[in-house]
Each structure stands twice: as C-alpha cells, then as structure tokens.
Amino acid sequence: MKKVIAIDGPSGAGKSTVSREVAKALGFQYLDTGALYRAVAYYFFKKFSSIKDFSSMTEQEIQNELKNITINYHNGKIFLSDEDVSDLIRDPKIGEITSQLSTLKIVRNYLMPLQRSFAEKENTVAEGRDMTTVVFPDAWKKFYLDASPEIRARRRFEQLIRLGKNITFEEALKDVIERDKRDSSRENAPLKISNDAFYIDTSELTLQEVIEIVLKKVAEDA
C-alpha cells in the first residue's frame, strides 16, 4: 500500500481545501470521499426525484440500484458513467440525501473497496468522516479538523453563495447542526476522533495556517 494521509472532521471544518492543497504540496493524489457518497446520492436523486426518505426502499432494492452505478473519480472531478457531476453534487438537496444514504451499511460497504483502491495506486490524501477509523485505520498520518458549528455554518454559507445557491445563514447553521448529529450518531462508521489522530481546531485559523500545520506535522514525523 502507498502512503495515506487520512483526514476526518465535520462538514465545514476546511477538510476539502486543506486536503487538496496538502496533496498538491506533497505530490499526492487527493481523494474526496464525500464526493463519492454525493455521486451515489445524485444517482438516486436523478432516478427517484420524489423519494426523500430511503427508508421506503428495501435493502435489496438499494443494492440493485448500486449495481447500476459507475463512478469515475480523478483528483476532485467526479463522473457518473460519463456525466461530469462535480458541480451538480454540491447542491444542498444532494447534501441532504447524501447524509441519509451514508448512514446505510449497504452504501458504505459498496464504496469501501472503491475508496481503498485509490490508495493502492498512488500516495493519497483521503478526506471524509471515517478515513482515520474505518477505511484507512493504518494510514501513514491521521488528522482530525474541527471548528465550532457557527464558524462552519458561516464558511458553508459563503461557499454556497459563491456557487450561486439560494440559502440563508440560519439555514446553513440548521443544516450543519443536523448533519453533525446524523454523522456522529449513526450506527455505521460514525464520525469520531480517532485516538491516534492529530487534532486541529481551525475556528481561529486561516486555511493557509491549517495547511502549514498539517505539512509541518507530516514533515516532522516523516
């Protein structure tokens, strides 16, 4: 296996930018596992746009659908079959469905081999919710990025406004709090701080400062 830098944390903690920039600086590939989950959600959204609650589908029905999904991912760009869905998966509606679908063991099991296959080929910076605990428990380096819900909601709000989405700060905060609750309390691979992860509270830091801390830590222990 190649070197893996595993980065976990809640939504809006800065994982994506930090992971992308750390990967660039080290010449590693960048693996955004949230994008893989989002691509699965986008597939379900497109096929069953009226279905909001997947509890109405049986495991077998979900499994049958998963078999039809072909995900291609390369350094942050993601394709469903040959459709580039990199921007489409960022819609808050898709985020909501992703958060629900990602609680299902069947979906997590489906994405597990795909996630690990990336690290077989190239040194990788992998970010998500269970990189340090479940997918890459033996990762070379582990980090947990955190920040207060208000700060994460502010960042998420500004990011979505930049993408032209129609959202208020209050909605962003409600979304962050709900998602935190779902990501941390789910039975399968919940978000938690791994004992051997280096914890960084990014609330009062700029992204550049966080990137520097991660790179310094990697270089120190290399």
The answer to whether residue 175 forms part of the interface with ligand DC (CB under 6 A) is no
Min dist CB 220 to ligand DC, Å, is: 26
Binding mask 131-160 for ligand DC (x = CB under 6 A): ------------------------------
Would you say 37 or 118 has its CB closer to ligand DC? 37
Would you say 27 or 164 has its CB closer to ligand DC? 164
C-alpha to C-alpha distance for 24 and 211, rounded to whole angstroms: 11
Binders of ligand DC among residues 21 to 80 (CB under 6 A) are 33-34, 37-38
How many residues bind ligand DC (CB under 6 A)? The answer is 14
Would you say 182 or 222 has its CB closer to ligand DC? 182
Would you say 11 or 218 has its CB closer to ligand DC? 11
Say if residues 54 and 40 touch (Cβ distance below 8 Å): no
Place of tokens 């997590």: 108
Q: Quote the crossing angle between the two packed helices 149-162 and 169-185, to the nearest 10°.
A: 120
Binders of ligand DC among residues 181 to 210 (CB under 6 A) are 183
C-alpha to C-alpha distance for 127 and 100, rounded to whole angstroms: 19
Footprint on this chain of ligand DC (rule: CB under 6 A): 11, 33-34, 37-38, 95, 98-99, 102, 128-130, 179, 183
